[in-house]
Amino acid sequence: QVTHGSYIPLVQSEDRVLRKSAFESMYGTFDKFKNTCAATLSAQIKAVNFYAKARRYDSSLEAALDGTEVPVSVYKNLIEAVHDNMHYMYDYVALRKKLLGVDELHFYDLYTPVVPDADMKITFEEAKETVLKALAPMGGDYLAILKEGFENRWIDVYENEGKTSGAYSAGARVHPYVLLNHKDTLNCMFTLAHEMGHAIHSYLSNKNQPVVYSDYVIFVAEVASTCNEALLMQYLLKNTEDKKQRAYLINYFLEQFRTTLYRQTMFAEFELKINEMVAAGESLTAEGLNELYGELNKLYFGDGIVLDDEIKLEWARIPHFYYDYYVYQYATGYSAAIALSQRILKYGEPAVKDYIGFLKGGCSTDPISLLKGAGVDMATTQPINEALAMFGELVKEMEEAMAE
């Protein structure tokens, strides 16, 4: 049965017939309700634009970003920078097609691992040990908080009856609580690093800020978690000699870039365009939304993949389009995290001191200023360009590794 929860595992399958069937089943169902979905999304976007106009903002984008004190230019810089680096994604699409050995690459081929044989079994105890080693560059004070969380039951580790799925960190003032559903996989180890990044961010903000300033905004929230993931990945790549495992890790890293930086920016551009259409008095119909979404997929993935009709309906299953300019923060946060992890590894203690200052900052100033204090200027395109250049280098390394 294809459900919201089972869809991604199905399209990650090595069985191409199964992937195709799940893909067609999912979007075939959405196709039956496309006009309802379009009317619902249209109502949401009209409401957002009405409130922006009523409050005398120039656009719904300005209204949404004003709440977190982020300049409109940051949103538009992200889209511009990704457009300038689209060739790296086209290279990745070509490599994926080559490694899968298919005559045509389809959208249901994007999630299956290209190095399936090197999957790693990692127990929770092993994951904790590796994460501690990977985050050693963060210094003793950071590691002490991490160990306290590991040793004093901050974490609910395994799946249980009635327990919600996924992973989560709740930044309570006594100390953070982390929910996991650990399954002894590489992804679960990264999830541990990710959620403990959130937890330590909350811990330091709560300890160093009054209540009114202790809760940080989403724009910076994903930076602390993703920086931990980036440090973990670079530790694993540095310490993995097995060629197949190294290729598997690079593939995992590439997928993080694809799904977080490129895909979320594509979502952000789609959201911006449909808001601009409504502001100009145009109607949002299923046919119009399909056409726009298809054009964006063509732009972001290039000619190396078949533009399946089904993928044009993907807009109907993305709940974030109802979150009012939310998704761009995944891409900016990821770019900032990559830049900060590189800075920490390159400069050591001074960079760590700046970064810890950022984690202690809560929302005591605007997010751009907080990140600038940590050493990354998100008011420019530089962090995005540098992150995508790393993606390009990883694509080349992956191609060379798989050619051997």
* Full DSSP string of 229-293: HHHHHHHHHHH---HHHHHHHHHHHHHHIIIIIIHHHHHHHHHHHHHHHHHTT----HHHHHHHH
pLDDT digits (tens, 9 = 90+) for 64-111: 999 899 999 999 999 999 999 999 999 999 999 999 999 999 999 999
- Residue corresponding to tokens 């980036």: 230
pLDDT of residue 171: 79
Contact residues for 2 (Cβ-Cβ < 8 A; gap 6+) = 10, 22, 25, 26, 29
> Quick check: 158 and 103 in contact, CB under 8 A?
no
Query: For the whole model, what pTM was predicted?
Result: 0.91
* Helical residues (DSSP H) of 69-185, grouped into ranges: 72-84, 86-100, 124-134, 140-151
Using a 10 angstrom Cβ sphere, with 0-12 exposed, 13-18 middle and 19 or more buried, the burial of residue 134 is buried
Among residues 225, 235, 223, 216, the alpha carbon closest in space to that of 192 is found at 225
SS3 at position 178: strand
pLDDT of residue 172: 81
pLDDT of residue 62: 97
Query: How does residue 298 score in pLDDT terms, banded at 50, 70 and 90?
Result: very high
pLDDT of residue 159: 85
pLDDT digits (tens, 9 = 90+) for 49-60: 999 999 999 999
Tell me the CA end-to-end span of the chain in Å, nearest whole number. Answer: 39
pLDDT of residue 161: 85
Among residues 273, 392, 378, 301, the alpha carbon closest in space to that of 334 is found at 378
* C-alpha dist (Å) from residue 388 to 91, 256, 260, 296, 363: 12, 12, 11, 19, 28
pLDDT digits (tens, 9 = 90+) for 164-181: 878 888 878 889 999 998
**Percentage of the chain lying above the pLDDT 70 cut:** 99
The 10 Å Cβ neighbour count of residue 163 is: 11
pLDDT of residue 114: 86
- Rounded to the nearest integer, the mean pLDDT of the chain is 93
- Residue corresponding to tokens 């530790």: 235
SS3 at position 169: strand
CATH 1.10.1370.20 at 33-118+206-404, yes or no = yes
pLDDT of residue 9: 86
- Pairwise CA distance, residues 313 & 294, whole Å: 8
> Quick check: 105 and 93 in contact, CB under 8 A?
yes
Catalytic residue selected from 151, 195, 241, 271: 195
pLDDT of residue 25: 96
The 10 Å Cβ neighbour count of residue 1 is: 5
pLDDT digits (tens, 9 = 90+) for 196-241: 999 999 999 999 999 999 889 889 988 999 999 999 999 999 998 8
pLDDT of residue 126: 95
pLDDT at 296 over 80: yes
Supply 107's token pair. Answer: 């959208």
Rounded to 10°, the helix 186-208/243-256 angle is: 50
Among residues 157, 184, 153, the alpha carbon closest in space to that of 168 is found at 157
Supply 127's token pair. Answer: 């994951």
Query: What are the boundaries of each domain within the chain?
Result: 33-118+206-404
- Pairwise CA distance, residues 10 & 22, whole Å: 6
pLDDT digits (tens, 9 = 90+) for 327-378: 999 999 999 999 999 999 999 999 999 999 999 999 999 999 999 999 999 9
Active site annotation includes 195: yes
pLDDT of residue 51: 97
pLDDT digits (tens, 9 = 90+) for 113-123: 888 666 678 89
- Pairwise CA distance, residues 196 & 131, whole Å: 10
